[in-house]
Amino acid sequence: MSNTELSRAEQDYLKAIHHLLRKEGGDLVGTVVLAKWLGVSAASVTSMVKKLADGGLVTYSPYQGVALTAAGERAALEMLRHHRLLETFLNQQLGMEWHEVHAEADRLEHAISEELEARIDAALGYPKTDPHGAPIPTKDGQLHAPATTTLWAAQPGTVVQIAEVEDEDPALLTHLAELALTPGALVDIVQKGPFGGPLFVRVAGQEHALGELVAQAILVVPETHFAASG
Amino acid sequence: MSNTELSRAEQDYLKAIHHLLRKEGGDLVGTVVLAKWLGVSAASVTSMVKKLADGGLVTYSPYQGVALTAAGERAALEMLRHHRLLETFLNQQLGMEWHEVHAEADRLEHAISEELEARIDAALGYPKTDPHGAPIPTKDGQLHAPATTTLWAAQPGTVVQIAEVEDEDPALLTHLAELALTPGALVDIVQKGPFGGPLFVRVAGQEHALGELVAQAILVVPETHFAASG
DNA sequence: CTTATTATTTAGACGAGGCTAAATAATAAA
DNA sequence: TTTATTATTTAGCCTCGTCTAAATAATAAG
């Protein structure tokens, strides 16, 4: 209802809630999880979450957790749209490296106007995904993500295609790029060692053994033919 | 000495001090002038200025005014460089209007990394001036501005060339663009009415009568032949 | 079912950056 | 030179977003 501008901190909280709800799958996210993700104390989270609840941006059940209202989701998706458009722009138009764009976009996403957002979108030809394969929310708040699993969960003996990789850790991204584990790549799932042992995959003609952390950071879809979808 | 990151507010104060020292010509700028420019109370200025003085960024003489130290000047010029590179980029690469870029750059200038600054600079071909004709400080903090006067002070009967126009007021910029009073334009100074009466000029074949406020917002140099300088 | 452990909230404080109102210094006018 | 005016500073308060320490709720272990 109240139409005050959201502060940077409020925007960051909404973005974090959205991210964690999606990642962890549940329908509520807890104070400590949020605090860890944001690099902030749990007490700080409690008070901010109350403020956001007062503003109608989240629903808050004490001791249970927090979720986004429609208004909160809208705001979070707008930030996410800014973020992913910026990542794409920085990468494609300004030649910034894959692993650099996340941090830069994190700062810029709060500062760009709707006008600039639109011009960036147009300059890029209205892209559907960012450099890490993540879908870019539409202007009207639709986020259409394909149904994915993690590479870690993929069936040995099958072939999958990389849809998206986590973009938060620059070092991980550099590593993935060296291994050619980038969106669009086709990956043979060779075999999985027992007891959490490494996952053996073949990509771009090379075989690699991947640890769980790496394989969990990669989202894949079953192999498909390259259809000119649309 | 202390190498803490400057806050947004600190950066804005340094930028304002730099701007006002240049504009007003004096060697000290007063609390109230600064307060008006920043849209803040004089009391707020006093306390911030003290903090900046503690940090070695300004010299502060109570009841006299404030000036920049070398470190403060460096920081101010870095912001100015960001600002003007961004204005140029938004205008040239993204097609934003002349009058829109100032406000957008004011928000973005605090958020861009040195890396991004360098890439924007390169993408533009290392420009020397922004869309309003203002010189862009170099990476090492040189600001080489030509010696200008205001259009208001120009001698009737002479021809001058517009070097730069004030960029803060979008409405003024729109007006100037309609009158073809843009950087590079050659202007015949026809005559100046008495007692602060309007200034009659001819530009692009049209004659216009300009009020003092407008004519003061335009910086000019004596007519020169277009030399392929460099 | 009782006890540890962990998650969460409450209470109280702090620094940043702003504000108003009152006091004081500097300057202009008489 | 005295008085009025304006510029500046001081004092005290406020909100935002954070923190730590202590209290309480929820959950897991025995």
Angle between the B101-108 and B70-92 helix axes, to the nearest 10 degrees? 130
CA of residue B123 to C1' of nucleotide D5, angstroms: 55
**Residue B224 has what pLDDT?**
67
- In which band, very low, low, confident or very high, does the pLDDT at A2 lie, cut at 50, 70 and 90? low
pLDDT in tens, A166-211: 998 999 999 999 999 999 999 999 999 887 789 999 999 999 999 9
Which amino acid does the sequence have at B18?
H
The nucleotide closest to B10 (CA, C1' atoms): C17
pLDDT of B225 reads 54
For the cut 50, the answer to whether the pLDDT of residue B223 exceeds it is: yes
Q: Is the pLDDT of residue A102 over 80?
A: yes
Written as six digits, the tokens of B109 are 């200038």
Extract the tokens encoding B144.
Answer: 């080489």
Q: Which residues on B lie below 8 Å from A115 (Cβ)?
A: 96, 100, 104
- Answer yes or no: is B47 CB < 7 A from strand C: yes
pLDDT bin (cut points 50, 70, 90) of residue A119 is very high
Are B186 and B161 in contact, with CB atoms under 8 Å apart?
yes
A222 CB below 7 A from strand C atoms: no
B123·A90 Cβ contact <8 A: no
Question: Could you tell me the two tokens for A187?
Answer: 């990956």
Q: What is the mean pLDDT of residues B144-170?
A: 94
Q: Which of residues 12-31 of A touch strand C (CB under 7 A)?
A: 30-31
Residue type, B10: E
Query: Least CB-CB distance to A100: which of B93, B100, B115?
Result: B115
Residues of chain B found within 8 Å of residue A120, distances taken between Cβ atoms: 94
Using CA atoms, how far apart are residues B19 and A31, in angstroms rounded to an integer? 45
The answer to whether B136 touches B81, Cβ cutoff 8 Å, is yes
List the structure tokens of A178: 């060296």
| Cα distances (angstroms) measured from residue A209 to each of A87, A125, A159, A179, B154 | 29, 37, 16, 10, 75
Question: Which residues, 6 or more positions from A36, have their beta carbon under 8 angstroms from its beta carbon?
Answer: none
Count of beta carbons in the 10 Å neighbourhood of residue B107: 16
Q: What is the dihedral of CA A125, A131, A135, A137, to 10 degrees?
A: -60
The per-residue pLDDT for range B202-221, each reduced to its tens digit, is 999 999 999 999 999 999 99
Instruction: Identify the closest residue of chain A to B123 by CA–CA distance.
Output: A94
Whether pTM > 0.85 for this model: the answer is yes
Q: Hey, what amino acid is at A159?
A: V
Inter-residue contact B202 to B190 (CB < 8 Å): yes
A112 pLDDT exceeds 60?
yes
pLDDT at A117: 98
Phi, psi values for residue A159, rounded to 5°: -120, 135
Q: Which of B158, B97, B159 is nearest to B132 (CA)?
A: B97
Helix ranges, A5-152 (H): 8-24, 31-38, 42-54, 70-92, 101-108, 114-123
Q: Is the pLDDT of residue B196 over 90?
A: no
In the DSSP assignment, the letter for residue B5 is P
DSSP-based three-state secondary structure for B25: coil
How many angstroms separate the CA atoms of A142 and A207, rounded?
Answer: 37
CA closest to C1' of C19 belongs to B41
CA neighbor of B17 nearest in space, from B40, B1, B2, B33: B33
* Chain A environment of B103 (Cβ under 8 Å): 113
Interface probe with B: pick from A104, A109, A120, A124, most Cβ of B within 10 Å = A104
Q: Report d(CA A214, CA A201) in Å as an integer.
A: 12
Work out the minimum CA distance from B86 to partner chain A, whole angstroms: 12
Residues in A touching B110 (Cβ below 8 Å): 111
What's the gap in Å between the CA of B107 and the closest CA on chain A?
6
**Percent of all residues in chain B with a pLDDT value above 70, rounded to a whole number:** 96
Contacts of B123 in chain A (CB under 8 A): 93-94
Query: Distance, angstroms, CA A7 to C1' C17?
Result: 15
Q: What pLDDT does residue A228 have?
A: 42
- Judged by CB atoms closer than 8 Å, whether chains meet at B113 and A104 is answered as yes
The neighbour count for residue B171, using CB atoms within 10 Å, is 8
Nearest nt (C1') to A48 (CA)?
Answer: D17
Q: Do the Cβ atoms of B110 and A111 come within 8 Å?
A: yes
CB neighbourhood size of A73 (10 A): 19
pLDDT of A229 above 60? no
**Average pLDDT in chain B:** 94
Q: Please state, as a whole number, how many other Cβ atoms lie within 10 Å of the Cβ of residue A13.
A: 27
pLDDT digits (tens, 9 = 90+) for A180-189: 999 999 999 9
| Per-residue pLDDT tens over the stretch A20-60 | 999 888 899 999 999 999 999 999 999 999 999 999 999 99
Task: Using DSSP, state whether B133 is helix, strand or coil.
Answer: coil
Query: What does each C-alpha distance from B178 to A57, B38, B65, B175, B199 come to in angstroms?
Result: 44, 29, 39, 5, 17
Report, as an integer, the average pLDDT of A123-150: 96
What whole-number distance in Å separates Cα of residue B168 and Cα of residue A128? Answer: 36
Q: In chain B, which residues touch A (CB < 8 A)?
A: 90, 93-96, 100, 103-104, 107-108, 110-113, 115-116, 119-120, 123
Rounded mean pLDDT, A62-80: 98
